Amino acid sequence: MKLASRVAHLTPSMTLAIAAKAKALKAEGVDICGFGAGEPDFDTPPHICEAAIQAIRDGHTHYGPVAGMPALREAIASKLAEENGLPYTPEQVMVSNGGKQTLFNAAMALLEPGDEVILPAPYWLSYPEMATLAGAESVVVPTSEANGFKLTPEQLKGAITPRSKLLILTSPSNPTGTMYAREELEAIAEIVVERDLYVISDEIYEKLVYDGATATSIGSLGAEIFARTILSSGFAKAYAMTGWRLGYLAGPLELIRATTAIQSHSTSNVCSFAQYGALAAYTSPESEPAVAKMRDTFDRRRHVMHDGLVSIPGITCVKPQGAFYLFPNISGTGLKSLAFCDRLLEEQQVAAVPGIAFGADDHIRLSYATDLETIEQGLFRLRAFMEPLV
């Protein structure tokens, strides 16, 4: 069969591949310490589940508006205005089947052959693939561990060409947990406006930040950058709703109309009764305590895992400010990330994700979205694995 050329350039998800291999070993009875998960290990809070169940009982099981039910779009717009300082109207919001679809829709609506997308590395592994599917080219800008994996204004300026159209920025980051400070975003925003770019701000982890910090939305820094910001977010990470597949995009009205048209010819509306769960997540007074409880648990795990990692000879690791990942440097072993992760899984039954999937081959990604017992056992095994290598 002769497939479309665009498919030949795609790279299968390494996170899913590692997870599949680990699950296969676990099914065989092997004791696996799994740190590959990109999802909370908590159940969805009960009040969110009950809202969806009640919606089913009330008959909300039919087709709905492609861009999302009006009440949910209004709740999202209110949340963005009150919490993030982003004055979007409900008409500037589109609900989709997860944050990944929002990004795909935006790429399809905004990019075309010849365009360049600036990607600070490490990046979330699907960004370059989405650019490829849209016919655009990714310009990868490696960031420095010494700088906390943050794109500097000088690096951004150096990456811009006449073909540059879009910057994709993630804060807090997957895979590093890095979060940009307000003044850092102000410097980037100034360049985006000056050089006539657009920026996709992926803020899916905004509520999972630590040490009393608050995530800043780049679009909140002024009218000019707001007009050039496309915000992608959703309910999966903060509310433990990964399987619900609920994300949203907010941006210029013309773009949202275009992404809605694209969605109308692909998946159409999001699951109707699931949207009532999302509405409860954003409107119920029970939500913030539930999120805070999960965040506090993640924070304890963050400290334990980071302290354990930096105590292992041959490993360095930036302490994350958000999300639930660490991105340790394993270059001291002389192994590249894929070989490191393969051997770690085979020899010590520890599942990690190779950093090459995120554009950083001297690192691996470890998720602390798992229990403390697994974290402590995994650190013990990782130390044993590292001893003969350094």
The one-letter code for the residue type at 122 is P
- Taking the domain 5-44+288-389, which CATH number applies? 3.90.1150.10
Answer for the pair 106, 202: CB distance below 8 angstroms, yes or no: no
Return d(Cα 141, Cα 122) in angstroms, integer.
Answer: 9
pLDDT for the residue numbered 186:
98
pLDDT for the residue numbered 141:
98
pLDDT for the residue numbered 243:
96
pLDDT for the residue numbered 7:
83
Return d(Cα 118, Cα 111) in angstroms, integer.
Answer: 12
Structure confidence by residue, pLDDT tens digits, 277-298? 999 999 999 999 999 999 999 9
pLDDT for the residue numbered 369:
97
Return d(Cα 77, Cα 89) in angstroms, integer.
Answer: 6
pLDDT for the residue numbered 319:
97
The CATH 3.40.640.10 domain(s) of the chain lie at 62-283
Q: Using CA atoms in the order 275, 280, 281, 285, what is the torsion angle rounded to 10 degrees?
A: 170
The CATH 3.90.1150.10 domain(s) of the chain lie at 5-44+288-389
Return d(Cα 390, Cα 333) in angstroms, integer.
Answer: 6
**Where are any strands of DSSP class E within the chain?**
33-34, 93-96, 116-121, 137-142, 164-170, 198-202, 229-234, 247-250, 325-326, 350-351, 353-354, 364-367
Report the topology of domain 62-283: Aspartate Aminotransferase; domain 2 (3.40.640)
If DSSP codes are grouped into helix, strand and coil, which group holds residue 353? strand
Low-confidence ranges of the chain (pLDDT < 50): none
DSSP 8-state symbol, 129:
H
pLDDT for the residue numbered 10:
82
pLDDT for the residue numbered 222:
98
pLDDT for the residue numbered 15:
67
Peptide bond into 172 cis (omega under 30): yes
